Amino acid sequence: MGLRGYIIKRVIYTLILIIGVVALNFFIFNAMPGNPLDAYLQKARSTGMSQQQFNALKAAYGIGLPWYQKFPSYMISMLTFNFGYTDPAFGSVAVSQIILDRLINTILLIGSADILAVIAGVLLGAYAAHERGKLFDSVAIITSLATFSLPTFWMALVFQAILGFGLGWLPIQGWKTLPPVGGGPIPYWLDRIHYLILPSLVLFLFTYGGFLLLTRACVLETMTEDYVLTARAKGVKERTVLFKHILKNASLPIITNIALQFGFMLSGAIITERVFQYAGLGTLIYQSITQTEVPVMQGIFYIIALCVIFANFVADLLYGLLDPRVRYG
């Protein structure tokens, strides 16, 4: 089977997996103790909505119908990203719009931290393996283990105390000051970056250590292969041997870890976002759980599952492009 056949096969598997995720998402929320959908409806009714609005909301979520009648409409809603409405006044605020508003903030925060963590972790991990047993290797291991083990809320509080309260260099909470059309795009995005630095720094320090340790272990395992010894015997530069031969062939576990890291990116960083009062998906998840906003929880969990599925699909394709030993069959 060639690459085309493999892609078709993986697409079919992915579609089946998405249907399974929709089904699991449906049955989990319907089987939860206390029936959160009924609780959501009662909360909506307590806001003083009319009987007509209440009946429309009840019909939209299929309350009172058997599961086999509710499931087809639920699946269509999930596949079309129609997650319903979160405001008790039915029809006012769409869940998809709320998620989209928070999505950009989360991508900016976690995306920037993850990209920097992957680059720094992989490069420093490869060099630490090359310098194994030396001072750089020891320092890299100790610092990565320390930052990887420290609680994110503690690191966030320390940075807030030093860089925020103490020195006054950076804001300690929030995500922006200027409106989008205040003084043009450049001041607006500089303001956004100003608020991103502290939470991104916390997530970067927490994440990069895992990539450093994984890369170091994978590179050390590959350094003794015959083709590495042959390349060195031919007089190939050590930097070329390290990054072109060793790191490339040791990259499969690293790719898997990177795919999972970015797959769970949209789950947000609940603890970090709460400490910094950052308006991302992590904060939205926390609010939806504490306020029993079932439509929001269903929508976010479904989108997170889609991201993980897509990230694994991309990782499977990258295996063959980066490692010639992988064959699609």
43 and 111, same domain (yes or no): no
Helix (H, G, I), strand (E, B) or coil at 84: coil
199 and 106 Cβ atoms separated by less than 8 Å: no
From 28, 50, 79, the end of a domain falls on: 79
For 120-178, the three-class secondary structure string (H helix, E strand, C coil) is HHHHHHHHHHHCCCCHHHHHHHHHHHHHHHCCHHHHHHHHHHHHHHHCCCCCCCCCCCC
Crossing angle for the helix pair 152-159 and 185-222, to the nearest 10 degrees: 130
The pLDDT assigned to 40 comes to 64
Does some domain include residue 160?
yes
**pLDDT for res 303:** 86
Q: Is the pLDDT of residue 329 over 60?
A: no
Q: What is the pTM assigned to this prediction?
A: 0.76
User: Does residue 137 lie in a domain region?
Assistant: yes
| Cα-to-chain-centroid distance, residue 108 | 11
Q: Residue 1: pLDDT band by 50, 70, 90 thresholds?
A: low
Residue 121 within any structural domain of the chain: yes
Give the pLDDT band of residue 150 (cuts 50, 70, 90): confident
Task: Mark whether 239 and 271 lie in a shared domain.
Answer: yes
Question: Beta partners for 94?
Answer: 85
Residues 154, 282: one domain? Answer: yes
The per-residue pLDDT for 48 is 61
CATH assignment at residue 120:
1.10.3720.10
Mind listing the pLDDT tens digit for each residue in 199-224?
A: 988 889 888 888 898 888 888 888 77
| Residue-level pLDDT at 101 | 82
Residue 255 near residue 322 (C-beta atoms within 8 A): yes
- How big is the CA angle at 102 (ends 101 and 104), to the nearest 5 degrees? 85
- Mean pLDDT across the stretch 133-149? 88
304: in domain:
no
Distances (CA, A) of 54 to 57, 59, 171, 232, 299: 5, 9, 43, 74, 21
Which pLDDT score is estimated for 36? 59
What percent of the chain shows pLDDT beyond 90? Answer: 1
**pLDDT number for residue 22:** 86
The reply to whether 100 falls in a domain is yes
Round the CA-based radius of gyration of the chain to a whole number and report it: 24
Domain limits for position 39: 3-79
- What backbone torsions phi and psi does residue 94 show, to the nearest 5 degrees? -80, 140
Query: 105 and 71, same structural domain?
Result: no
323, part of any domain:
no
Task: For 122-138, write each residue's pLDDT tens digit.
Answer: 888 888 888 888 888 88
Q: Which of 11-15, 34-38, 319-323 has the lowest mean pLDDT?
A: 34-38
Same domain, 59 and 122: no
Average pLDDT over all residues of the chain = 79
CA-angle at 185, arms to 181 and 190, nearest 5°: 115
Average pLDDT over residues 245-264: 78
Say how many domains are in the chain: 2
Q: What is the pLDDT of residue 90?
A: 42
The per-residue pLDDT for 89 is 45
Same domain, 160 and 285: yes
Task: Give pLDDT tens digits for 51-106.
Answer: 666 666 666 666 666 777 778 888 888 888 888 776 554 446 778 888 888 888 88
Mark whether 44 and 179 lie in a shared domain: no
Residues 133, 39 share a domain: no
**Domain match, 27 and 176 both:** no
Tens of pLDDT, residue by residue over 22-58, are: 888 888 877 766 555 666 666 666 666 666 666 666 6
For the chain, how are helix, strand and coil distributed in percent, rounded to 5? 75, 0, 25
Out of 79, 112, 139, pick the residue that ends a domain: 79
Residue 55 sits in the same domain as residue 109: no
